[in-house]
Amino acid sequence: MKMIPGVSKTGTGMDNISWNILGQTYVPKHLSDSSMSWHATLPKGTFVPPHIHPHQDEFIYVLEGRFDLLLNGVEAYAEPGDLIRLPMGIPHGIFNKTESTIKCLFWVSPSRRIYDLFWALHNLGPKANPADVVAVSAQHEVDFLPPPEDA
């Protein structure tokens, strides 16, 4: 798939798509074979548990709010203007532990199966069974890690 030139306007995405992924809103901004980007809104208390992209580098540019992160087992944080770099094969989790909403721009390279994954997760509904989320994600090249033993 070749990238189409143009401008992705504020508040809109490709083909007016907006996904609800477990209470988070993802709006795809572009898709090509080499990369995909999306605007994400993560309300307070939402998170993406530790997982691995074995075939993609992932990036998050923070626009608003503060992320708490787990990057290869090390705790970190990112605030507006920060770029989070998540190399392929490195476990990472992102968390909104604050009282405010986080807004950010994500992108992955290459795109691989992430676009199809977001449709599949969106179709599971906002209160999806975690086991279903893990299984569907694994089918789309995203591997969630087991929860820590003290959880």
Q: What would the DSSP string read from start to end of 15-33?
A: GG--EEETTEEEEEEEE-S
Based on C-alpha coordinates, what's the Rg of the chain? 15
Is 0.85 topped by the overall pTM?
Answer: yes
Domain assignment present for residue 4? The answer is no
Q: How confident is the model at residue 146 (pLDDT cuts 50, 70, 90)?
A: confident
Find residue 51's DSSP bridge partners: 92, 144
Q: How confident is the model at residue 148 (pLDDT cuts 50, 70, 90)?
A: low
Q: What is the pLDDT of residue 6?
A: 87
Q: What is the pLDDT of residue 149?
A: 62
Phi then psi dihedrals of residue 139, to 5 deg: -70, -15
Enter the tokens of residue 4. Answer: 């189409």
**Neighbour-count burial of 68, counting CB atoms closer than 10 A to its CB (0-12 exposed, 13-18 middle, 19+ buried):** middle
User: Taking each helix axis from N to C terminus, what angle separates 114-124 and 130-139, rounded to the nearest 10 degrees?
Assistant: 160
Domain assignment present for residue 149? The answer is no
Q: How confident is the model at residue 150 (pLDDT cuts 50, 70, 90)?
A: low
Query: Tens digits of per-residue pLDDT, 72-128?
Result: 999 999 999 999 999 999 999 999 999 999 999 999 999 999 999 999 999 998 788
Domain assignment present for residue 70? The answer is yes
Average pLDDT over residues 130-134: 91
**Domain count of the chain?**
1
CATH number of 40's domain: 2.60.120.10
Domain assignment present for residue 27? The answer is yes
Domain assignment present for residue 5? The answer is no
Enter the tokens of residue 11. Answer: 């508040």
Domain assignment present for residue 151? The answer is no
Task: Give the range of the structural domain holding residue 125, as residue numbers without chain letter.
Answer: 17-144
Q: Is the dihedral of CA 105, 142, 28, 121 positive or negative?
A: negative
Q: What is the pLDDT of residue 125?
A: 87
Domain assignment present for residue 114? The answer is yes
Domain assignment present for residue 74? The answer is yes
Of 150, 151, 116, the closest CA to residue 136 belongs to 116
